[in-house]
Amino acid sequence: MKTAERAFTTISGVPVQPVYGPEQLRGFDPERELGEPGEFPYTRGIHRDMYRGKLWTMRQFSGFATPEETNRRYHYLLEQGQAGLSVAFDLPTLMGYDAGDALSEGEVGKCGVSISSLEDMEILFRGIPLADVTVSMTINSPAAVLWAMYLVVAERQGADWQRLSGTLQNDILKEYIAQKEYIFPPRPSMRLVTDTIEFGVRHAPRFNPISISGYHIREAGSTAAQELAFTLRDGMEYVDWALERGLEIDEFAPRLSFFFNAHNDFFEEIAKYRAARKIWAHAMRDRYGAKNERSWKLRFHAQTAGCSLTWQQPYNNVVRTALQGMAAVLGGAQSLHTNSLDEAYALPSEQAVTIALRTQQILAYETGVANTADPLGGSYFVEKMTLEMEATANEYIERIDKLGGMIGAIEAGFPQSEIAAASYRYQREVEEGERTIVGANRFQSEDQPIELLQIDHSAQRHQEEKLAALRARRNNAEAERALSELSRAAEGTENTMPFIVEAVRNYATLGEICNALRRVFGTYAETTHL
């Protein structure tokens, strides 16, 4: 009996009723709660025509080994019909270390592309016109440095920064909450994020300087409502810091973007996206007084759930990814990444990434789901779940407000402990067979072999040799001067971005720039909360 009861809940543990009808929506005013697509509070989508007017951007998160190899993959993806690039960086890059650093040993190029210098970034985008291709970069603690490299490459291609379009992840709060790839303490890190937002407003107004990410919060084991609440409250924290800097809300809010997970529970995920738009619209208009309608509209990228993929029966992952991608589309995503079937084993092979891209193209051109805006709007079940998701998320946001905001909540260990409890509950359900994972804990059979992408140690040697040659031929005096100027700016209150750009132009490396900031800001070690 216990198992049967458990089966009728969402992945997040929310009970699901046998049937939904008008009685579940008593008092629900569709005109007030929903509006039309493209109208406040945007529950039904941020554009009136949605995908009838323009399809979502199809991105495949890609990066491996060296910039040379990744550049070849990018050209291949663009030839296959991909509309935008999404850069995956390796662990040393994510942590602000050069390829030749002792702490980078064994990790160079393994989970993404290795970028240590402007030269690497120039190679990464060789032959790719940045004025015409949108680029998303999944980088956080050293985001300002990688963005500076991207901007200088674009500049040397002759592109006007005012025309550049893309997204920098740059969401440091979720690192402390979930992913744990941080360098500096929270408050100096927030200063760097605010510097990029301000710099973007002034110099690259079409580029999204931050993508506030729930994806990694969900991958760490949160519920859908926790993902929604913590992500939106992170967004409010960035707004608070930008306002304190002196920016006007309508100067920067239209360029805030979001990044959500697309997990297995089809209807729960759709409800999550619809509730996200509604909560954010009310927060921007009512909490912050934004007047520009573009400030009210929550734009988001979705990625299918990596944590849902299994190494057992990996071809099952194609089906999971297709359904997760459809949930994102029915929920109104502006761009989408579909995971590859082999990602529980390794970085995607060329064959696997092509299947993942074809999955999006089939969704767009063969299923009919893009033919009308918000096709599930008005469903008793979906509308009730949307209301429940909204209420639960708002309760979390109020609790975080009482803790003094998201930094206060992080320092108290609140979101971390909530995620840990949810993750434990879900894993226990799987291990006890209360929740079925096809091919893993039920319907097991012998696995079919698949071709895997292999990254060998030659990538590290290549990157180290290139870095040594760069240091030998650059103007080291100019690089040192730029690094000293950056440290001086970090000690004061100036925006650090112009100084980071200058250091990059002089071929100061990622590790050197981050070390200049480490000397001023220090580093962060998490305190465990029991």
Q: What is the CATH number of the domain that holds 284?
A: 3.20.20.240
Give the mean model confidence (pLDDT) for residues 110-139.
Answer: 96
pLDDT digits (tens, 9 = 90+) for 171-208: 999 999 999 999 999 999 999 999 999 999 999 999 99
Say what the alpha-carbon torsion angle 226, 229, 234, 235 is, to the nearest 10 degrees. 140
What's residue 127's pLDDT? 97
What's residue 3's pLDDT? 45
What's residue 5's pLDDT? 46
Give the mean pLDDT of the chain: 94
What's residue 28's pLDDT? 86
Q: In angstroms, what CA-CA distances link 17 with 385, 420, 528?
A: 11, 27, 39
Q: Residue 530's pLDDT band (boundaries 50, 70, 90)? A: low
Percentage of the chain lying above the pLDDT 90 cut:
89
Q: Any idea what DSSP says for residue 486? A: H
Neighbours of 112 (CB within 10 A): 24
What's residue 59's pLDDT? 83
Four-residue CA torsion sign, 273, 275, 281, 284: negative
Q: Which residue has the tokens 């729960």?
A: 268
* pLDDT exceeds cutoff 60 at 219: yes
Q: Residue 302's pLDDT band (boundaries 50, 70, 90)? A: very high
469 lies in a domain?
A: no
Parallel, antiparallel, or unpaired for β 84-88 and 57-62?
parallel
- DSSP letter for each residue of 90-103: PHHHHTT--TTSGG
* pLDDT exceeds cutoff 50 at 529: yes
* pLDDT exceeds cutoff 70 at 130: yes
Quick one: tokens of 200? Answer: 């973007």
Describe the strand order of the beta sheet including 256-262 as a list of residue ranges. 207-208, 166-168, 134-138, 84-88, 57-62, 335-337, 300-304, 256-262, 210-213
Q: Residue 528's pLDDT band (boundaries 50, 70, 90)? A: low
* pLDDT exceeds cutoff 90 at 423: yes
Q: Residue 2's pLDDT band (boundaries 50, 70, 90)? A: very low
* pLDDT exceeds cutoff 50 at 169: yes
Parallel, antiparallel, or unpaired for β 207-208 and 210-213?
unpaired
Q: Which amino acid is at 187?
A: R
437 lies in a domain?
A: no
Four-residue CA torsion sign, 268, 269, 274, 277: positive
Distance CA 460, CA 424 (A): 37
What's residue 456's pLDDT? 77
Q: Any idea what DSSP says for residue 51? A: G
414 lies in a domain?
A: yes
* pLDDT exceeds cutoff 60 at 218: yes
464 lies in a domain?
A: no
Domain tally, the chain: 1
Q: Residue 352's pLDDT band (boundaries 50, 70, 90)? A: very high
Quick one: tokens of 50? Answer: 């949605």
Distance CA 299, CA 428 (A): 34
What's residue 4's pLDDT? 43
460 lies in a domain?
A: no
Q: Residue 424's pLDDT band (boundaries 50, 70, 90)? A: very high
Four-residue CA torsion sign, 397, 398, 400, 406: positive
Determine if residue 382 is left, alpha or beta; phi over 0 gives left, psi from -120 to 50 gives alpha, anything else beta: alpha
Residue 204 near residue 152, CB atoms below 8 Å: no
Percentage of the chain lying above the pLDDT 70 cut:
98
What's residue 32's pLDDT? 78
488 lies in a domain?
A: no
pLDDT digits (tens, 9 = 90+) for 222-264: 999 999 999 999 999 999 999 999 999 999 999 999 999 999 9
- For 463, the 3-state DSSP assignment is helix
| 301 DSSP β-pair partners | 259, 335
Q: Which amino acid is at 169?
A: Q
425 lies in a domain?
A: yes
Distance CA 421, CA 112 (A): 30
- For 113, the 3-state DSSP assignment is strand
Report H helices in 403-457: 406-412, 414-431
* pLDDT exceeds cutoff 50 at 429: yes
Q: Which domain holds residue 290?
A: 2-368+376-431
pLDDT digits (tens, 9 = 90+) for 69-122: 999 999 998 998 887 898 999 999 999 999 999 999 999 999 999 999 999 999
* pLDDT exceeds cutoff 60 at 214: yes
Give the mean model confidence (pLDDT) for residues 279-305.
Answer: 97
238 lies in a domain?
A: yes
What's residue 1's pLDDT? 36
* pLDDT exceeds cutoff 90 at 60: no
Q: Residue 7's pLDDT band (boundaries 50, 70, 90)? A: low
